[in-house]
Amino acid sequence: MDIRFSAEEIAFRDELRDWLGEVLPTLGDPPDRDDWTARRKWDMGWQRKLYDAGYAGINWPSEFGGRGSTPTEHLIFLEETTRMGAPYVGMNFVAQLHAGPTLILEATAEQQARHLPAMLKGEEVWCQGFSEPNAGSDLASLSTRAIRDGDHYVVTGQKIWTSFGHVADYCELLVRTDQEAPKHRGITWLICPMDLPGIEVRPITTVAGSSEFCEVFFDEVRIPVENRVGDENDGWRVAMVTFSFERGTAFISELLGTMNQLAEMAELARGIRRNGSTAWDDDEIRREIGHLQAEYDALWALTKRVVSQAQRTGMPGPGGSVFKLYYAEVKKRMADLAHRMLERGALVLAEGGGDEQTGGDMVASRLYVLSLSIAAGTSEIQRNIIGERILGLPKER
């Protein structure tokens, strides 16, 4: 049990810090939330800078163009980039953290050569076509069907919650290729170019007023069979295998950004004057801030445990589900506390909106946090996973 960093890890951090210190001041102001052309340019430009400096694909194996860093170096990378205010992974999320790792583990050499270098250089935006209106928590019941017609699959159906679908170049798409097989055994994983005829993308406006989510409609879209990753009807396994690439680092930027927000809230509390005192003088507010900090410190420690487990065994420990479940509830309490402090001020959304995942806009944040217990597996699904896979309680079905 040792939380000290090794000499190599410290050297890695120092070098990264120096580079960030040089490059970040040259970036200029981030784009408006709803200016998608500018946002694409910003996110892809940052990815290119990472590539040129040798930091792209930090956790990808070096034989696929990545840096091949250890889980601990990945943690340091995320810690430093967040601490110094570097851009968030943004619309590179699916390519870097999901589709890319899947191609590394499952794709043919041709597919890898076609896509992996472009992903690393920030030349391809990817989106995820997994969820459907009738296949949410029960993802394996998905019904978008693909019928084989010579060298093509003809795909018809609908996907939903497709982040950045309207700006993406490619989609990692799960389709049903066997209607008769048990639901997990009739699914296939396809690479779908988003400019094919028959694809229609409609943005969904969220409760926060943003529109990075989309629904995607497929009407007899012809996807070449050579775009299949893995075997036909083996797509569920391909989709699940991606999660083995996850090393407990998924929420590091998010958590550290939240800790920065808490420090901003404490500053705000010390400055808000009412009835001759400050919000900080309110015992309940002050203690809740201390309590939240204790919980965030613990979640940061939990992250280090999960990363250490990944470093030793190649697989993250079970702390991932615990983290997500616990973090969602703590962050909701923090957003509510901000509103107790702001009082009538909580009626006003900050101008411009900013990026609610990392920015300091507390009113927008109160809306954003509603998604934390829903996206990427609801809290109810996380509790099932913990109850059944970790505690060994009987399955409901």
Partner 1 sequence: MDFELSDDQVALCDGIRDLCQGRFDIDTVRGLADCGGVDRQLWSELVDTGVFSLVVPEEDGGVGLGWAEAGLVFEQLGRALVPGPLVGTLLAAGVVDDSVVGLVERTDGSALVEYPDVIDALLVLDGDGVWRVDAAELSFEPAQSVDPLTPVGRVAELPQGDEVGGCYGWVNRAVFLCSALQVGLATGARELAVAYAQERQQFGKPIGQFQAVKHKCADMYSREEVARAALYYASCVLDAPELADEDRAVSGARILAAEAADHNGKDCVQVHGGMGFTWEIDAHLYLKRAWALTPCFGSLDEHAERIAAMV
200 is catalytic: no
Listed in sequence order, the residues at least 6 apart from 168 whose beta carbon sits closer than 8 Å to its beta carbon are 91, 94, 125, 126, 127, 162, 194
Does 11 help bind partner 1 (rule: CB under 8 A)? no
Nearer to partner 1, 38 or 393 (CB): 393
Q: Which of residues 156-195 bind partner 1 (CB under 8 A)?
A: none
Using CB under 8 A as the binding rule, the residues of this chain from 288 to 307 that contact partner 1 are: 288-291, 293-295, 297-299, 301-302, 304-305, 307
Q: Is 390 in the site for partner 1 (CB under 8 A)?
A: yes
Closer to partner 1 by CB, 223 or 285: give it. Answer: 285
Residues 266 to 285 in contact with partner 1, rule: CB under 8 A: 266, 283
Distance CA 173, CA 193 (A): 10
Among 3, 7, 109, 347, binds partner 1 (CB under 8 A): 3
Of 11, 181, 263, 376, the one binding partner 1 by CB under 8 A: 263
Q: Give how far Cα 360 sits from Cα of 132, 270, 364, Å.
A: 32, 16, 9
287 contact partners, CB below 8 Å, separation of at least 6: none
Q: Is 18 exposed, middle or buried (0-12, 13-18, 19+ CB in 10 A)?
A: exposed
Q: Answer for the pair 80, 13: CB distance below 8 angstroms, yes or no.
A: yes
Asked if 286 touches partner 1 (CB under 8 A), the answer is yes
Nearest to 386 by CA among 323, 344, 328: 323
Grouping H, G, I as helix, E, B as strand and the rest as coil, residue 5 is coil
Task: Give the active site residue among 246, 295, 356, 380.
Answer: 246
Total of residues contacting partner 1 (CB under 8 A): 52
Residue 7 sits in the site that holds partner 1 (CB under 8 A): no
Q: Which is nearer to partner 1, 183 or 304 (CB)?
A: 304
Cβ proximity to partner 1, 151 vs 283, nearer residue: 283
**DSSP secondary structure letter of residue 397:** -
Residue 344 touches partner 1, criterion: CB under 8 A: no
Distance CA 146, CA 128 (A): 17
Q: Hey, what are 237's tokens?
A: 């396994």
- Cα–Cα dist 58/78, whole Å: 10
395 binds partner 1 (CB under 8 A): yes
Binding site for partner 1 (CB under 8 A): 1-6, 9, 72, 75, 262-263, 266, 283, 286-291, 293-295, 297-299, 301-302, 304-305, 307-309, 311-312, 319, 322, 325-326, 380, 382-384, 386-388, 390-396
